[in-house]
Amino acid sequence: MFDKIATFSFPTRIVFGVGATRVLPACLEEIGVRRPFVVTDPGLRAAPPFKTVESALQDGGVRYELFDGVHPNPIEEDVVEAAKAYRAADCDGVVGLGGGSAMDVAKATVVIARQEGTLADFEAQSGGMDRLAGPYDPIIAIPTTAGTGSEVGRSAVITSHKLKRKIIIFSPWLMPKRAILDPELTVSLPPFLTAATGMDAFTHCLESLTCPVYHPLCDAIAIHGLELVIRYLERATHDGRDIEARGNMLVAASMGAIAFQKDLGATHSLAHPLSTEFGLHHGLANALCLPAVMRFNLDAAAPHYARLARLYRGSDSNEPNHREAANAVSMVEVMIEGLGIKRGLRNHGVPRESLEGLSQSAFADSCHKTNIRPCTQDDLLRLYRESW
């Protein structure tokens, strides 16, 4: 276990609490940004969270530029257009406001605005991290969903038009300088998106915990993140104005992203093509595929899943690890159903004849390489079929 050197770090400064958005002008001043570029999506542009951020900037006398063209599953054109506007306005820092899509586009924008090349040139899987010639302009991330944890992450996931699939751009240069977690910005999130983004946070915590990479700090964070999701996700879904639940889910999402610097697993490899090919929300795709992956991993991940079962119970159990691990799969399925998520890819517009092609894309995705049980393409196809 100890024959390799490992390094641990959690550098993003987080500002958390009801009304934390008010400190945005001070955060911009602290990191030396005079002309911020706000990146968001068109739906959020017309919603209360944007108005809260806009008021904070106006009250602080901060002039800003706005890009609100982010797609739900962001595409390379979003980044190209944003970078063009960023350069034209002579901006010197970016504020990503929204879910993971807006925050990921914000991160990629500072790269493309300052460095020649396409996003495909910087794909982590093909050695792109070495081509990222930072430092880049500072990033502040303000999540309005509790799921991706992109506000504390060092990666951006964007669909490349050149490669026709999602790619991951990964570098310490992309770590936001500040993350502002304001529970008030999430109270207007509809129940379905609350549930789906919450399942994204849950999957991050669980797949990072089972990832066979030594990082005990991440393991501890993942375990507590799972506990918070189990305790608060249903509350946040069924009562959007439950500030305690909303705040704890924001924390759980950030914890999931911190934890998955270890890496992820097969659920994410299955989920990414579902978003690219059929537009499924990423958290929903995770929720639909996670139980099948858990059953596939049952023997290899038994101690971790048994611990998960004990988190659901809120107490220790004398059940053998394997039996408790099997119980955990059932508990996850019950939680997903309790959130109102209808199981089965067939019920979300995914035709059965597409599964073989999807399995090829899933196998090309890097996340399954750190699954606790090795996967072949045939394994991934079987997991799609079980999830269908």
The residue written with tokens 């501890």 in the block is 220
Report d(CA 227, CA 222) in Å as an integer: 9
Whether pLDDT at 280 is above 50:
yes
Q: Whole domain around residue 380: which residue ranges?
A: 191-387
Instruction: With respect to residue 120, please indicate whether it lies within any of the assigned structural domains.
Output: yes
Together in a domain, 171 and 298: no
Instruction: With respect to residue 351, please indicate whether it lies within any of the assigned structural domains.
Output: yes
Together in a domain, 209 and 148: no
User: What pTM was estimated for this model as a whole?
Assistant: 0.91
Together in a domain, 167 and 229: no
Together in a domain, 46 and 59: yes
Instruction: With respect to residue 2, please indicate whether it lies within any of the assigned structural domains.
Output: no
Instruction: With respect to residue 6, please indicate whether it lies within any of the assigned structural domains.
Output: no
Residue 1 pLDDT: 46
Together in a domain, 29 and 178: yes
Together in a domain, 146 and 227: no
Instruction: With respect to residue 1, please indicate whether it lies within any of the assigned structural domains.
Output: no
Domain boundary among 169, 186, 203: 186
The three state secondary structure string of the chain is: CCCCCCCCCCCCEEEECCCHHHHHHHHHHHCCCCCEEEECCHHHHCCHHHHHHHHHHHHCCCCCEEECCCCCCCEHHHHHHHHHHHHHCCCCEEEEEECHHHHHHHHHHHHHHHCCCCHHHHEHHHCHHHHCCCCCCCEEEEECCCCCCHHHCCEEEEEECCCCEEEEEECHHHCCCEEEECHHHHCCCCHHHHHHHHHHHHHHHHHHHHCCCCCHHHHHHHHHHHHHHHHHHHHHHHCCCCHHHHHHHHHHHHHHHHHCCCCCCHHHHHHHHHHHHHCCCHHHHHHHHHHHHHHHCCCCCHHHHHHHHHHHHCCCCCCCHHHHHHHHHHHHHHHHHHCCCCCCHHHHCCCHHHHHHHHHHHHHCCHHHHCCCCCCHHHHHHHHHHHC
Instruction: With respect to residue 3, please indicate whether it lies within any of the assigned structural domains.
Output: no
Instruction: Name the domain count of the chain.
Output: 2
The domain that contains 347 carries what CATH number? 1.20.1090.10
Together in a domain, 249 and 310: yes
Q: What is the pLDDT of residues 297-332, one digit of tens each?
A: 999 999 999 999 999 988 666 666 788 899 999 999
Q: What is the pLDDT of residues 101-118, one digit of tens each?
A: 999 999 999 999 999 888
- Neighbouring C-beta atoms of residue 318, cutoff 10 Å: 5
Q: What is the pLDDT of residues 232-253, one digit of tens each?
A: 999 999 999 999 999 999 999 9
The domain that contains 136 carries what CATH number? 3.40.50.1970
Q: Which of 124-138, 165-179, 209-223, 335-349 has the lowest mean pLDDT?
A: 124-138
Together in a domain, 24 and 141: yes
Residue 217, exposed/middle/buried by CB under 10 A (0-12, 13-18, 19+)? middle
Instruction: With respect to residue 244, please indicate whether it lies within any of the assigned structural domains.
Output: yes
Residue 134 pLDDT: 78
Half-sphere exposure of 187 (CA within 13 A, CB side): 11
Domain boundary among 186, 217, 237: 186
Instruction: With respect to residue 343, please indicate whether it lies within any of the assigned structural domains.
Output: yes
Together in a domain, 233 and 328: yes
Whether pLDDT at 271 is above 90:
yes
Together in a domain, 159 and 204: no
Together in a domain, 179 and 204: no
Together in a domain, 367 and 269: yes
Residue 159 pLDDT: 86
